[in-house]
Structure 1
């Protein structure tokens, strides 16, 4: 019997940047291979949306709060109605939403379900929570199956910049609870998983964090991936991507259609020391983005290195 060819896939077309291969994990987070989930004929319920928060001014921050920031909140303004809505990175038990005793609605970003379009999922949960609040009922609001066609978050909330508060822990979970008896142990356990995190004020969607042995800056950027990689390559080849002494651009995440460059920082750097360098880097990046000339061999080499140090989260 003839042996199976080991070269039958050698001539397959290479994947474009950002494209998901059929045997790779589906970006929706289901844990299945792409070909068995949203890459299957007919998809998996709601069509997979690679950039679900596109069009919202705070798109990079939404990606950061969903994927990188442990404890943060921001008020949302509804297009219709005046009910108070609080967006949170994480709610107790990773709940999709909660209606508090006060009638305020809390909407969680870090959840267990994944139905292809996080913006559609958030809108479905928010709609259900608002309806529950109108009935005067408090408690958790879940999403156990694909919600199907319907509005997206962009359709329900005003599109202004989010006013984000990064918290040291999850005390905001119980800030409106008078009797907190019996909650201390659960809160202490949740807080134990939180790495110190701060949002820079000089540039958008850049978050410093201290993981103990290292500090990092993770900066979610909205520019098209190819353009951003070219610009970062120009700066990297010129040695112009060093924010503070001994810092290093080590790679980047890709999440919900956006790239998030990551810098390693010396322990003890802190967020305050990054404000001015980050602002200067943003100016240099804008100039590099405006440069449409061909990359030099050194810049192409830098680009290849950066592209190989990408990790897709979602």
Structure 2
């Protein structure tokens, strides 16, 4: 066996021996950087000291936080904060993306906008968001707030938030950035043109949690962030698939899934023209069946094991 073949065999063996809570060296880093784990948080040189695999675990808003951080181009949600955990009662607005991927902006009226899609990654997005938010309380109106180094010990988002679902509003583009700002010469609106052009049409389903329809060029997809244990969810999806119960609409197809922030995100391909509304009823039915199937502890049948293997091997890209 040649050296390259031996290297590939060793890498494959290393990945196959990992548990669901571990990451193989050649797998994507769970931090969302897009780099392999061995070159990011798994690196002994240059990797972050701490990697929290499931940073938003324990929050009822976990799946929507992940979706807004990884999937949704333009969305906002008000944040309810514990009065005993923050300095004052000003309004805080969570945003999927802020101008220049800013971690936070303090508006002229003192309102804080907290961004989820940022350029830094120190290993614990929950701790980083909390650190940015608390810094924003001390910043002057008009200030941009961010991190230049790991925030160190301190509260995490779980320590600051009232534990309730997010009231997510998905926007057609980023016009909300300047909705309360005067723009007499239209220069601000012109600067949004490129950002809006890059935002794929997206809608959040109302019948289930954290499921987002999107149209990407000639394709439509449903990407659904699910909070279940990975092994149990794979078993449940395999049972559903083997029984033919995973179709959202005729000609739709569960094409695979990706892993991010410690959870799985199944992805369906949809016929062009499907839209979000047509998915509401079948998605609710699938959600009900999955909730029951994740509790089933019986061994998988041969057909279900084959379906599980196929699903586990079909990894798709986030965007």
TM-score, normalising length from structure 2?
Answer: 0.90
SS in 2 for 1:20: coil
SS in 2 for 1:128: helix
Tell me by how many angstroms 1:290 deviates: 2.3
Residues 120-142 of structure 1, C-alpha deviation per residue, up to 9 Å, x if partnerless?
A: 1101111111111xxx4322111
Tell me by how many angstroms 1:312 deviates: 7.3
Q: Residues 147-162 of structure 1: matches in 2 within 5 Å?
A: 147-162=151-166
2:30 is matched with which residue?
A: 27
1:202 is matched with which residue?
A: 207
Mapped pair 1:50 → 2:53: yes
1:184 is matched with which residue?
A: 189
Tell me by how many angstroms 1:20 deviates: 1.9
1:164 is matched with which residue?
A: 168
User: Could you tell me how far apart the structure 1 residues matched to 2:38 and 2:269 are?
Assistant: 35
1:88 is matched with which residue?
A: 95
User: Could you tell me how far apart the structure 2 residues matched to 1:180 and 1:259 are?
Assistant: 46
SS in 2 for 1:86: strand
SS in 2 for 1:155: helix
Over aligned residues, Cα RMSD in angstroms?
Answer: 2.2
In the superposition, relative to structure 1, how do residues 30 and 7 fare at CA in structure 2: closer, same or farther (>3 Å)?
same
User: Which of residues 243, 248, 252 in structure 2 aligns to 1:247?
Assistant: 252
Tell me by how many angstroms 1:37 deviates: 3.6
Q: How many residues align?
A: 310
Q: Which runs of 5+ in 2 are unaligned?
A: none
User: Could you tell me how far apart the structure 2 residues matched to 1:140 and 1:236 are?
Assistant: 47
User: Could you tell me how far apart the structure 2 residues matched to 1:206 and 1:32 are?
Assistant: 26
1:261 is matched with which residue?
A: 266
Q: Which runs of 5+ in 1 are unaligned?
A: none
TM-score, normalising length from structure 1?
Answer: 0.92
Residues 15-42 of structure 1, C-alpha deviation per residue, up to 9 Å, x if partnerless?
A: 3346322244433345654335422459
| 172-181 or 59-68: bigger deviation | 172-181
